[in-house]
Structure 1
Amino acid sequence: MVEVSRTFTVAKDRAAVAAYLRDFTNATQWDPGSQDNVQTTPGPVAVGTVWHNTSKLVGVTTELDYTLVRDDPDHLRFEGVNKTATSSDDLALADAGNGGTQITYRANVSLNGAAKLGEPIMWLVFQKIAGETVRSMTSALEAL
């Protein structure tokens, strides 16, 4: 399994941060790999909502279906699956004072079968894009 975690603070209140991040369609604005996210279940965003995600990392395009599995005011979790990988995005939110929010973002991916041999490369890729993710997410949230 490949895991990356970053903790950072944004100058936006927790309610606004949670409202924005809980709609995974917005991930195209803060996730460097996400190219397209389309909500595939009808209705408002809630636990069980599914998005079809298309991502591109190191020149490889992959598609996963992500489900919102935790939707609390201070914690969001999305889980994605396809034939070769299981992925999760976990976002813990805490009040940081001065109206800001501390975000602890954890991304995990487990590759299946022969693809598992690529985990050391994916670890390097995740470490590289983690900083880009923090910058992109901070910019997107503070522009709200």
Structure 2
Amino acid sequence: MVEFERTLTLHHPLPDVVAYLADFSHAEEWDPGIVSCRPTMADVPVSEGVEWVSVSTFCGVRTGLRCRLARLEDQRLTFVGRNRTATSTDDLIFRRENGATLLTYRARIEFHGLARLASPFLREEVEHLGDEVADRMAQAVDSHFGVGGDSTG
């Protein structure tokens, strides 16, 4: 299993940030590994249990992942993605701080089968991905709502 955690300060209202990030189809904008991300059912409102199919590249390998919104709360989102080689859990915890939104983003990837043997060798790549996600997420939120100031923290 490999993990990363990043904390970001986003200069936009917490409910708006949560609503934007709860729609996982926006992950194309903030996750540099995701090539495409589409809901499995059209015209379904974002709610717990909704699923998306994403295509991503990681370490040069293109793979599909079925992602489900496992938790949708006012200050917390959890997405669980699965395919035959891995289960990824993205846990986003939000809180208000000085008029901004403080986001703690935790990602965990658990590899299955033979892919599990590669886990120790992928830690550096996952850490690098964590840095890129944090940078791109702040930029995507700013682009979506309009720049609200310095959004890295």
Which range, TM-score by smaller chain?
A: over 0.9
Q: Which residue of 2 aligns with 1:61?
A: 62
1:101 aligned counterpart, secondary structure: strand
Q: Which aligned runs of 4 or more in structure 1 are off by greater than 3 angstroms?
A: none
Unaligned runs of 5+ in 2: 146-153
Q: Which residue of 2 aligns with 1:20?
A: 20
Paired residue type of 2:129: I
Offset, 1:131? 1.2
Offset, 1:122? 2.2
Q: Which residue of 2 aligns with 1:91?
A: 92
Offset, 1:67? 0.3
Report the Cα distance in structure 2 between the residues aligned to 1:20 and 1:54, rounded to whole angstroms: 20
Q: Give RMSD over aligned pairs.
A: 0.9
Equivalent runs, 1:40-55 vs 2, <5 Å: 40-42=40-42, 43-55=44-56
Unaligned runs of 5+ in 1: none
Equivalent runs, 1:73-88 vs 2, <5 Å: 73-88=74-89
Offset, 1:11? 0.7
Q: Which residue of 2 aligns with 1:122?
A: 122
Paired residue type of 2:45: P
Report the Cα distance in structure 2 between the residues aligned to 1:107 and 1:121, rounded to whole angstroms: 17
2:46 aligned counterpart, secondary structure: coil
Q: Which residue of 1 aligns with 2:106?
A: 106
TM-score of the aligned structures, taking structure 1 as reference length: 0.96
Instruction: Name the % identity.
Output: 36
Number of corresponding residues: 143
TM-score of the aligned structures, taking structure 2 as reference length: 0.90
Report the Cα distance in structure 2 between the residues aligned to 1:81 and 1:129, rounded to whole angstroms: 18
